[in-house]
């Protein structure tokens, strides 16, 4: 246990502290300051020579600041002769641009992968990448953990009388199918389309939800518009209740208002991103113990995949 150290950036220090507590070691010390012009200044406050280090830092909003802080901390550790530098990124920002979906657009997920490797990261540990193929953008090991392991236990604990899994769009069918298979439940699909610009989406339900307790599954909740609209349509089709599961609570714009005032009965998220405020409809599940166990297994060269089988 003395061979590795846990550091945390300023994006989500509570998460890093929870990981360290689970592992029974103190958080290692690093000072994060800013120059008067806003540049980030980092100093590692203890020796890391020959140690395996893990840096906990989701690249959530403010995304650019948190990403740059992570890159600078990686560089500092590399220049301090750390044996390995493992970037623990619970939420991987810039993942939505993972291909050229239109002419003359960037592939930011690849750019961020290159930056992390160039800075000196030797492994990335993350959760529910927006697109699984992002792992292929790296030439270093990437452990993409599944948040479904904590959501599965939570759904089981609710003892819903007539549960069914739903994908909020066609693109998320594979993710929802995986979750449905884990629970042995059927799957329905919300098919959405926009008739023309600046006109609200039309949603159709593929499958029967009459009298069902619907569980919407997605990897991230940004503005919550899709989830709120889907819940409204599902209930109009006879659903008894609608619960949304989303690993990453991005919650930008009017997301909180849509959740509070909308048809959703409950929004269940992981703590990969710190919440801006609390809500009676939002339930937060901690995935820090899962990350801590993965860190322990990586350090001891044990299987990570067996956690999810």
The enclosing domain of 37 has a CATH number of: 3.40.50.2020
Same domain? 169 vs 271: yes
3-state secondary structure of 263: coil
Q: Structural domain of residue 16, as residue ranges?
A: 4-146+288-308
Banded model confidence at residue 170, pLDDT cuts 50, 70, 90: confident
> Collapsing DSSP states into helix, strand and coil, what is residue 156?
helix
**What's the pLDDT score for residue 195?**
58
Query: Would you state the structure tokens that stand for residue 206, as one six-digit string?
Result: 């593929």
Under 8 Å between Cβ of 144 and 128:
yes
How do residues 262-303 score in pLDDT, each as one tens digit? 999 999 999 999 999 999 999 999 999 999 999 999 999 999
- According to the model, what pLDDT value does residue 2 have? 56
Residue 80 and residue 168 share a domain: no
Do 12 and 130 belong to one domain?
yes
Contact of 201 with 236, CB cutoff 8 Å? no
The larger pLDDT score, comparing residue 197 to residue 68, is at 68
Residue 198 has what pLDDT? 45
pLDDT score, position 1:
44
Alpha helices in the chain (DSSP H): 13-23, 63-78, 108-119, 148-158, 173-183, 225-236, 255-261, 288-299
Residues 91 and 190 in one domain: no
- 126 in the same domain as 241: no
Over the range 27-37, which residues count as b (16 or more CB within 10 Å of their CB) and which as e? bbebeeeeeee
Q: Are both 304 and 170 inside the same structural domain?
A: no
Residues 43 and 153 in one domain: no
The catalytic position among 78, 158, 192, 237 is 192
Residue 199, pLDDT score: 47
The confidence score (pLDDT) of residue 193 equals: 72
Geometric angle at alpha carbon 261, from 202 and 11, rounded to 5°: 95
Give Cα 33 to chain centroid, integer Å: 26
Is the same domain home to 137 and 200?
Answer: no
Same structural domain, 176 and 118: no
Residue 194: pLDDT over 90:
no
Q: Tell me, yes or no, whether 158 and 279 share the same domain.
A: yes
Q: Report CA dihedral (132, 309, 145, 19) to the nearest 10 degrees.
A: 180
The residue with tokens 């003359």 is 104
Question: Is 196 one of the catalytic residues?
Answer: no
H/E run at residue 222: none
Cβ neighbours of residue 307 closer than 8 Å, sequence gap 6 or more: 149, 290, 293, 294, 297
Whole-number Cα distances in Å, 57 to 45, 110, 125: 18, 18, 10
The average pLDDT across 38-45 equals: 96
Average pLDDT score, the chain = 94
Q: How confident is the model at residue 202 (pLDDT cuts 50, 70, 90)?
A: low
| Calpha distance 186→190 (Å, rounded) | 14
The tally of domains found in the chain comes to 2
Share of the chain above pLDDT 70, in %: 96
For range 90-110, the mean pLDDT: 95
**Is there a single domain that holds both residue 39 and residue 121?**
yes
Whether residue 200 is predicted with pLDDT greater than 80 in this model: the reply is no
Asked if the peptide bond before residue 2 counts as cis, ω within 30 degrees of 0, the response is: no
One domain for residues 138 and 8:
yes
Distance CA 55, CA 143 (A): 14
Residue 269, beta-bridge partner list:
246, 284
Per cent of the chain over pLDDT 90 is 88
Asked if the model's pLDDT at residue 13 lies above 50, the reply is yes
For residue 35, pLDDT over 80 is answered with yes
**How far apart, in whole angstroms, are the C-alpha atoms of residue 125 and residue 131?**
15
């Amino acid at each position: 246990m003395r061979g590795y150290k846990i550091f945390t950036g300023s994006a989500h220090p509570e998460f890093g502290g929870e990981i360290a507590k689970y592992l029974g070691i103190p958080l290692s010390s690093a000072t994060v300051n800013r120059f008067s012009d806003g540049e980030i200044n980092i100093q590692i406050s203890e020796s890391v020579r020959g140690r395996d280090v893990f840096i906990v830092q989701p690249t959530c909003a403010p995304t650019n600041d948190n990403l740059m802080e992570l890159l600078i901390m990686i560089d500092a550790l590399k220049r301090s002769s750390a044996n390995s530098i493992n970037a623990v990124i619970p939420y991987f920002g810039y993942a939505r641009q993972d291909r050229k979906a239109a002419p003359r657009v960037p592939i930011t997920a690849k750019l961020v992968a290159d930056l992390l490797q160039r800075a000196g990261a030797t492994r990335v540990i993350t959760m529910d990448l927006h697109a699984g193929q992002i792992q292929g953008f790296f030439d270093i090991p990437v452990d993409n953990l599944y948040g479904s392991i904590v959501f599965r236990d939570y759904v089981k604990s609710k003892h819903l009388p007539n549960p069914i899994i739903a994908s909020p769009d066609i693109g998320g069918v594979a993710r929802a199918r995986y979750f449905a298979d884990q629970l042995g439940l059927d799957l329905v699909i919300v098919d959405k389309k926009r008739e023309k610009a600046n006109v609200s989406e039309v949603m159709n339900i593929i499958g029967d939800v009459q009298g069902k307790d619907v569980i919407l599954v997605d990897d991230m909740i940004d503005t919550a518009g899709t989830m709120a609209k889907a819940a409204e349509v599902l209930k109009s089709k006879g659903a008894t209740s609608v619960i949304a599961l989303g690993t990453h609570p991005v919650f930008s714009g009017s997301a909180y208002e849509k959740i509070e005032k909308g048809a959703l009965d409950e929004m269940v998220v992981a703590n990969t991103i710190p919440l801006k405020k609390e809500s009676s409809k939002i339930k937060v599940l901690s995935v820090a113990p899962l990350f801590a166990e993965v860190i322990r297994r990586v350090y001891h060269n044990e299987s990570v995949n067996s956690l999810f089988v």
